[in-house]
Amino acid sequence: AQSVTQLDSQVPVFEEAPVELRCNYSSSVSVYLFWYVQYPNQGLQLLLKYLSGSTLVESINGFEAEFNKSQTSFHLRKPSVHISDTAEYFCAVTGASNDYKLSFGAGTTVTVRA
């Protein structure tokens, strides 16, 4: 079985400042990793995915995450945040061979202030 720990429940940050959201996973098998974003009263939107290949993955809106197998981490970063990045962010993991069951962390609430 896989599990995820998101180390920060709340991250306040000023507009245009950088942000890092930490995610560590546990698994005895190869994994796929994801970051999802959730806005109030909405479902989850896929932000980033790591399936294989390059360990650094990027999104179209400036987020990036790096898969670190030795540290079992998949931290999310953005060099300069906007007010519109205020949301809840979830890290999720699934086994590469049983990729039907996502295990989510408890989420990190990012609040961007002007």
Partner 1 sequence: DTGVSQDPRHKITKRGQNVTFRCDPISEHNRLYWYRQTLGQGPEFLTYFQNEAQLEKSRLLSDRFSAERPKGSFSTLEIQRTEQGDSAMYLCASSSPGQPQHFGDGTRLSIL
Q: For the CB of residue 77, give the shortest distance to partner 1 in the complex, in Å.
A: 20
Q: For the CB of residue 100, give the shortest distance to partner 1 in the complex, in Å.
A: 5
Which residues between 15 and 44 bind partner 1 (CB under 8 A)?
A: 34, 36, 41-44
Residue 92 engages partner 1 in binding (rule: CB under 8 A)? yes
Contact residues for 62 (Cβ-Cβ < 8 A; gap 6+): 78, 79, 80
> In a 3-state reduction of DSSP, which class is residue 22?
coil
CB neighbours of residue 59 within 10 Å = 16
Q: Which is nearer to partner 1, 15 or 102 (CB)?
A: 102
Q: For the CB of residue 41, give the shortest distance to partner 1 in the complex, in Å.
A: 8
Candidates 22, 64, 86, 104: give the one binding partner 1 (CB under 8 A).
104
Measured in whole angstroms, how far is the alpha carbon of residue 11 from the centre of its chain?
13
> In a 3-state reduction of DSSP, which class is residue 84?
helix
CB neighbours of residue 96 within 10 Å = 12
For tokens 């000023």, what's the residue? 14
Residue 51 engages partner 1 in binding (rule: CB under 8 A)? yes
Give the number of residues in contact with partner 1, rule: CB under 8 A: 22
Q: Where on the chain is the footprint of partner 1 (CB under 8 A)?
A: 4, 34, 36, 41-46, 49, 51, 90, 92, 99-107
